[in-house]
Amino acid sequence: MHYAIIAAGEGSRLAQEGFTLPKPLVSLHGETLIDRLIRVFSQNNAHTIHIIINEESELLHEHLRAASASWPIRLVRQTTPSSFHSFQELLKTMPPVEALCLTTTDTVFQEAEFEAFIAAFAQQPELDGLMAVTTFVDDESPLFVEVDQDRAIRGFTDENTSQTPYISGGIYCLRGKALAAVGASAALGTNRMRNFQRYLLARGLKLKAHPFSKIVDVDHVADIQTAARFLTETREAQELTERETTKIES
């Protein structure tokens, strides 16, 4: 599996609130956001991990150069105006791939749920894209995802006009047709990931939603605390399950 991380943003909201490091270097329980993604991807059969950062992120550049000694990282330095443009630049530097899992650097999720997401994508080769969704809404401008009874995606909306429980989680597994559509979408003036997803639907590509219990986006200092608390709760729940399992087996 090939993976890609968009880490080219400026983290301006964090900076305005006094956080001085690049967003990918936010630490949760002693592990940075970018290192956590790299580790989780590597544990899910990563062949390569393509990462784009902006040209001003010297500290992040040095951090990832050091990390590349241990992980299969392919690094691109390019300042871009949006996540969609970052995605386009990443694809320009990559050899053709049959499938790719893409995310932004600030998505925090349960590792077991991500593993299930990757497995579900592998088990549904007929899909052009499998999109992570969640019912946890803690975003200033969420993208609502309309689905049918089989969770086939029927629409992406900025307003929750259909009363869907799902919003986009910012994690995308895409196959050849969807990847090939990036250039054509960009030529039409697309400049946001949400509009690219709408373009895929308009082209008739087969997209499906995969629910996560919670995905936290780290945009503000308060989000760091929310994400850290989420991971603590996840770890405690796992430990409780393991203890209960041990009791049953003994």
Indicate the DSSP class of residue 139. -
Q: At what angle do helices 33-42 and 58-67 cross, to 10 degrees?
A: 30
Distances (CA, A) of 150 to 61, 146, 189, 205, 225: 42, 11, 32, 16, 35
At 34, the pLDDT band (50, 70, 90 cuts) reads: very high
The pLDDT, as a whole number, for residue 156 is: 97
d(CA 169, CA 69): 30
Q: Reply yes or no on whether the pLDDT at 108 is more than 80.
A: yes
Instruction: Note the pLDDT tens digit of each residue in 111-154.
Output: 999 999 999 999 999 999 999 999 998 878 999 999 999 999 99
The pLDDT, as a whole number, for residue 7 is: 95
Report strand pairing: 2-7 vs 48-53. parallel
Instruction: Note the pLDDT tens digit of each residue in 204-247.
Output: 999 999 999 999 999 999 999 999 999 999 888 776 666 666 66
Domains observed in the chain? 2-224 (3.90.550.10)
CA triple 218-103-20, angle to 5 deg: 35
The model carries a pTM of: 0.93
Radius of gyration of the chain (CA): 18
